Amino acid sequence: MWRAARCVWRAGGGRQLSTSAVAGQRQAAQVAVVGGGAAGFYTAARILARNRTARVDIFERLPTPHGLVRFGVAPDHPEVKNCMSKFDQVAADPRVRYFGNVAVGAEGGDGSGLAAQLPLDAARAAYGAVVLAHGASRDRHLGIPGEGGAGGHAGVLSARQFVAWYNGLPEAQSLAPDLLSHDRVVVVGHGNVALDCARILLTPPDELAATDITAQALAALRASRIRHVEMVGRRGPLQVAFTTKELREMTRIKDLRIVCDRALLEAECQSPAGAEYLAASRPLTRMMDLLLKHCESPSAAAAGAAEKTFTLSFLRSPIEVLYDQPWGDAGTVPQLVRFRANRLEGPPAAARAVATDATSASPCAMVLRSIGYASVPLAGAPFDAARSIVPNAAGRVVDAAGQIVPGLYVAGWAKRGPVGVIATTMQDAYRTADAVLMDIDNGHIAASDETSQEAVDRMLAAEGVAAAHVTNDAWKRLEAFEAAAGAAAGKPREKVTDVATMLSIIRGEAK
């Protein structure tokens, strides 16, 4: 039975559109999705499930789909990657076309120079709706002296790039992290990405050998001298952003001692404000219990001359990175990161780090900054540079004046910033898809027919996309190649890590 629905379309302070629609009558529509990550695939899945006549084209700048599920999620978390089978089902739907190796609205190209470039304006003119789901492919900087390197040193590396290096993202393969010139790494940040980096650096390489970590990264980790990782945060134990599951994994690493300032930990947990805060949060209570159970104070760990340590440092902000510095009996250390000590102000839920005069320093082979990802603007789409997101009202893109940009939508990390796991991204993508579906029903998105399908194909041919793109079948050939190479090495896949080789395998040129 069909039912008339009324929709009010408003973006904070912008114009208001009110229109009647027949909710059950779903018009055919052609939707382009920019980005073949979790948000792109979940948006497509929802649109296809709720509108049987919609067609979705997914554009991905790399030949390979799956975004951070392939290039971010840690190799020793294979269960998290099960969502790829859902993405495979979406890609196999006859109403979906996968266009790998096509960058949409990418300023400065895709990085490899091998992808076709599709201007966003051309896509918007041909499709009824374009959903931006291009994620967050940049990272935030510390903004401190020495961060950019000196004296031949590359400087502070981003955890994003380090993760991308061990996961095989083509543009990160020249990273060459220093795992040899000292036995310590400093990671700035107290989130799950920081913990992923620490865990990969401290896990015995034999235990990673059966994962899909790249052969190059595994070889470097086998040769690594790193025995100590210090993870530094500006606030206290009650403000950490990582989760208990990831912390528990650290407690299970063989021969690893976990170190932190126990006196501070106990004081924070037992203070009246801390106890009240913990009483209101079972997850945080579990996390603090785990820390209290496993953490040793620095002096106890030193007395035991631990072979490997993972140190959680609180109330410290980096202020400078120096290179080739004299350091006690050690002679010269490759990097020295200097910290300012902080104290906390305010209740635990909103505690602010306030600088004190005290300073300290840690020697290391390299510093990884892990203080958040940031999205990048696409040419032809509004961008909120302060928040590093595409500005939107519940998934509908809005311009600087708060007006809805007709036919343009955003989902995932590009929409709400780099927070949330895959399940959160899925929910978020569904909300954006629902906005698209509503606008199809309300006639805000042009209904498509055979003529508009032909117009899309003409536009793709004119822009050089039709000739250069990687289809889903072609990607599946590459995936089969990776699986076969992985099987030979006892791994789920051996990723191909450069775009030119990917393309030659796909085109049947590789031997």
Ligand X SMILES: Cc1cc2nc3c(=O)[nH]c(=O)nc-3n(C[C@H](O)[C@H](O)[C@H](O)COP(=O)(O)OP(=O)(O)OC[C@H]3O[C@@H](n4cnc5c(N)ncnc54)[C@H](O)[C@@H]3O)c2cc1C
Residue 43 or 335 with smaller CB distance to ligand X: 43
Let me know the angle formed at the C-alpha of 420 by 111 and 172, rounded to the nearest 5 degrees: 25
CA–CA gap between residue 37 and residue 59 (Å, rounded): 10
* Contact call for residue 212 and ligand X (CB under 6 A): no
- Least distance from C-beta 215 to ligand X, angstroms? 20
Residue 191 or 318 with smaller CB distance to ligand X: 191
Looking up tokens 């089902």, which residue turns up? 89
Binding mask 418-437 for ligand X (x = CB under 6 A): --xxx--x------------
Answer whether 363's CB lies under 8 Å from 311's CB: no
CA–CA gap between residue 133 and residue 87 (Å, rounded): 14
CA dihedral 497→501→503→509, nearest 10 degrees, is: -150
| Positions in 436-475 near ligand X (CB under 6 A) | none
Answer whether 214's CB lies under 8 Å from 497's CB: yes
Pick the stretch among 98-106, 202-210, 350-358, 454-462 that binds ligand X (CB under 6 A): 98-106
Pick the stretch among 146-154, 270-278, 357-365, 414-422 that binds ligand X (CB under 6 A): 414-422
Pick the stretch among 55-63, 121-129, 150-158, 234-242 that binds ligand X (CB under 6 A): 55-63
Residue from the set 10, 26, 77, 286 that interacts with ligand X by CB under 6 A: 77
| Positions in 311-370 near ligand X (CB under 6 A) | none
Residue 234 or 469 with smaller CB distance to ligand X: 469
Q: Nearest-CA neighbor of 43 among 126, 168, 134, 111?
A: 134
Pick the stretch among 315-323, 399-407, 412-420, 487-495 that binds ligand X (CB under 6 A): 412-420
CA–centroid distance for 192 within its chain: 11
Residue 348 or 412 with smaller CB distance to ligand X: 412
Q: How many residues bind ligand X, per CB under 6 A?
A: 36
Answer whether 375's CB lies under 8 Å from 390's CB: yes
* Contact call for residue 129 and ligand X (CB under 6 A): no
Residue 425 or 472 with smaller CB distance to ligand X: 425
Pick the stretch among 28-36, 176-184, 383-391, 489-497 that binds ligand X (CB under 6 A): 28-36
Give the N- to C-terminal CA distance of the chain in Å, as an integer. Answer: 58
CA–CA gap between residue 208 and residue 214 (Å, rounded): 10
Answer whether 492's CB lies under 8 Å from 208's CB: no
Looking up tokens 């990161």, which residue turns up? 337
- Least distance from C-beta 65 to ligand X, angstroms? 7
Residue from the set 60, 171, 212, 230 that interacts with ligand X by CB under 6 A: 60
Residue from the set 21, 28, 36, 208 that interacts with ligand X by CB under 6 A: 36
Residue from the set 75, 236, 412, 486 that interacts with ligand X by CB under 6 A: 412
| Positions in 99-128 near ligand X (CB under 6 A) | 103-106
Interior/surface letters 274-311, b for 16+ CB within 10 angstroms, e for the rest = beebbeeeeebbebbebbeebbbeeeebeeeebebbbb
Token representation of residue 181: 């010139």
Answer whether 101's CB lies under 8 Å from 470's CB: yes
* Contact call for residue 131 and ligand X (CB under 6 A): no
Binding mask 374-393 for ligand X (x = CB under 6 A): ----x---------------
Q: Which residues bind ligand X (CB under 6 A)?
A: 34-40, 59-62, 67-69, 72-73, 77, 80, 103-106, 133-135, 137, 163, 193, 196, 378, 412-413, 420-422, 425
